[in-house]
Chains A and B, each alone.
Chain A
């Protein structure tokens, strides 16, 4: 049951990465694919119907962590206090930037909010990457399971490497989405960007995988999980190839598979811990953090039913309504 709870949580976060990944990624590359304000606006309109719903997965995953593993929730959220608050501010600021940009039609106003939108989105991805990096590396926990280290500790070279790789990987994901959803020049530029980004992602991927193996050499996950990075590499190659061959939808699917494989590999590395201790400190695992079995079963049921409903709704009802491509609005 505890492993199932871990799986549900990993699934929810994985879905979040795939979904919010493309809208954070498209924001990161918006200045590269859009030369004018109207062209950049097409990037925002491409994600307009989706981004809010995508973020709901983050909220839901936070709630699920609280119900399933209260101790890990308490320790992680209070231990990463300032980074978490900064993430909240960036999430809000990003939404406000998207909303405000349209209300005054002057160039300087729009340029400012476009830049704010890109910067806050990219910074969010860096912070998410840094958080993931520190989870894999381990954090110094005291005897009560609380985080006992500084902000500086979190910004270590390994975590920053993961953060940088995350920016590149989500930029690629966003580019495949843009190629699929936006008609005209910005969509073409996004497609052309995919193979270039794939090279950057490959470099980051190799460096991160090497560093991870070096950090976790004493505690490598089961051998079969080695298949995940291999699958990821194949998917990355397919994403670049399909994008170059103007098969945008296939490229987006391949990029999704790439991210899912990477995320699954990270989750497999972490399992069965939720917050591993750094340098021999005792960490918090799936059995330390969960409530009693009965309480856990009812929490798992509540969360699983909710996910099923939303997943079915999202794929059956919402997505088909937004099939048509976004075109550039020349008279905004």
Chain B
């Protein structure tokens, strides 16, 4: 028997909790539910890098739990399917899902909106490759198309590096990264560049449990773990120089009016700029494995 997991038609960080709820069975599923999963994306109209990486993370998590390889019904809309393929999603999805629907052949167009295709991150070499790629290929796009000044472009590379390193240093497994530009229509109405990083690893709570749980007492949980990491700069390492990557990302985004959102387990914490209407903290969300990170930098001078 299979259980259907609905992929939202418009799949981004806002609809992610809906996806997580469906992934977790909406209360009906659970750890004992070993039915084969069918991820239904046939009605998908759009997916952000965050959504696409979330889908891959779900597949990865199931594989690492030795679950039966799930099914994925690809979008029926041809343009949507072409876009998913162009981002590199389909190539990696084939590893974790049995795909229903034909993956189109898409020629590399060097489109300026896909700055970095979906890329696995397993070790420090991958982080080097990703940063090198962005500095070589995307710096011009970030400057000329988004109007980001040189310091903003350099800081972007730093933020990307630190975001990816969270996988290498803490997740306990591999993860993914993707970078794209698109128009953020909700309130902002201008182009943004987005970094999405996701993994199916241990999550912030388990990572920090040994060193931080006692301090929080009964309050300890996913939200407290995010607070410890993002606000207090805590790390599972006792080295006082650790735990500063997220702080560096926050400083960068604060300077350039960007947004940072980190979801782990059942909580999500965000640094919310004036142009967004998200909430700084959301707790008791549907559980989703690992950690999902979203960085958004708006264009300047539009």
Partners in one complex: no
Binding site for B on A (CB under 8 A): none
